Amino acid sequence: MGTIIDVAYPANATAVQSQVLQLKEKKPDVVLMITYTSDAILFARTMQAQDYKPPMLLADDAGYSDPSFLKATGKISQGTFNRSSWSVGPAGSHTALIAKMYKEKRSSLTFTDWWMFALRGETVSGRVFSVILLPTSECNVACDYCFERKEPHRLSPTLLPLLTRRLLDHLENEHIEECEIYWQGGEAMIMGPAWFENAGEVMNRAAAERGRQFVHYLQTNLISYSRPGTE
């Protein structure tokens, strides 16, 4: 049997560079993670920043089963394996009812199957397709754990209809009715509210014309947030 090491970190840690450095130096074949959501996100970003990826990362439920982990880490969490407990339970139970609702919404895949597909960045069902779009990689702050290359680049309004058309082509080809768009950055709100209003109108109108639907989500640090009408 090989060597097993425990790498601990304090509760409420805001930096895990030294823990990731330990992993990097020890070169384990497998890293087993049990963390809360915020810690899972912090580890994923720190590993990315330190250019470290274990041969296998096995997560045990907790933060890795939280959908916000995937939203926050996006493609850098690709390849992660997660174990989530799920039992359908007896007919008529709450869990059986939830499983039925889930299957109606998300095809015949189990929740665990769906999550593993999502972690690999693949289409998760025949009905919903999820995409992360970065309208800019610029940001208005400088977090010390940030891994973004903050190049001065913004998605132009002239490119948006082309991008929309390509997405809708894909939805049609794959017989998918709904596309979830996760807008991220950099700091996505650098583009300003008007840009997003216009993008939403352009995309949603084009989707409706082809019998499809976009659902938009926004990840922001809220630094440029102001109440409507006060900016």
Residues that bind ligand SF4 (CB under 6 A): 139, 141-143, 146, 148, 185-187, 221
For ligand SF4, which is the closer residue by CB, 42 or 160?
Answer: 42
Minimum CB separation of residue 143 from ligand SF4 in Å reads 3
Minimum CB separation of residue 67 from ligand SF4 in Å reads 19
Minimum CB separation of residue 225 from ligand SF4 in Å reads 13
Is residue 41 within 8 Å of 14, Cβ to Cβ? no
Write the burial class of residue 40 (CB in 10 Å: 0-12 exposed, 13-18 middle, 19+ buried).
buried
Minimum CB separation of residue 25 from ligand SF4 in Å reads 25
For ligand SF4, which is the closer residue by CB, 150 or 216?
Answer: 150
Beta-sheet strand order (sheet of 81-83): 31-33, 57-60, 81-83
For ligand SF4, which is the closer residue by CB, 28 or 135?
Answer: 135
Q: Cα 228 to the chain's mean position, in Å?
A: 28
For ligand SF4, which is the closer residue by CB, 55 or 192?
Answer: 192
Minimum CB separation of residue 26 from ligand SF4 in Å reads 27
Minimum CB separation of residue 10 from ligand SF4 in Å reads 21
Write the burial class of residue 101 (CB in 10 Å: 0-12 exposed, 13-18 middle, 19+ buried).
exposed
Report in angstroms the alpha-carbon separations of 226 from 140, 216, 223.
Answer: 15, 20, 9
For ligand SF4, which is the closer residue by CB, 127 or 150?
Answer: 150
For ligand SF4, which is the closer residue by CB, 23 or 72?
Answer: 72
For Cα atoms 140, 65, 15, give the angle at the middle one, nearest 5 degrees: 45
Distance CA 229, CA 231 (A): 6
Beta bridge partners of residue 182, listed in sequence order:
132, 217
Distance CA 138, CA 152 (A): 6
